[in-house]
Amino acid sequence: MSDTLQSQDVLARLAATIESRKPANGGDPQASYVARLMAKGPDAFLKKIGEEATEVVMAAKDVDHGAGVDKLLYEVADLWFHSMIALSHYGLHPHDVVAELARREGLSGLEEKALRKAQDREAQESLNQPR
């Protein structure tokens, strides 16, 4: 099995587990970390995403100063996990992220950013148009 398919399988299985742990799907906040975070609402898991993002930055800085990459890998896995909880909450799936990355493939990051800015400007202008 290719690394890509294996990665997608792991993400799909994890997404299914997260989905099954939602309180709305019978997940028990007393028995499941995911259910507990989701029961507390978006502020709880969004705070965790912020904490994990900071830990990724700190681990990367440690690697820059001679630490092993294992801590960085661990922290990125935590960030991805908590991001997947947010995706599930908002009705999204890892394959949606992969599709977005595929859409961007081959685009210059600068071009993509300029396109987004232009689209945001157009959206703002249409909101400001008198009806």
Model confidence pLDDT, tens digit, residues 25-82 = 999 999 999 999 999 999 999 999 999 999 999 999 999 999 999 999 999 999 999 9
Backbone angles phi, psi at 32, to 5 degrees: -135, 125
DSSP annotation of 130 reads -
Distance CA 118, CA 24 (A): 39
Query: Mean of the pLDDT values across residues 109-129?
Result: 81
The SS3 assignment for 118 reads helix
Backbone angles phi, psi at 14, to 5 degrees: -65, -40
Token pair listed for 10: 């792991």
DSSP annotation of 24 reads G
E-strand ranges in 1-131 read none
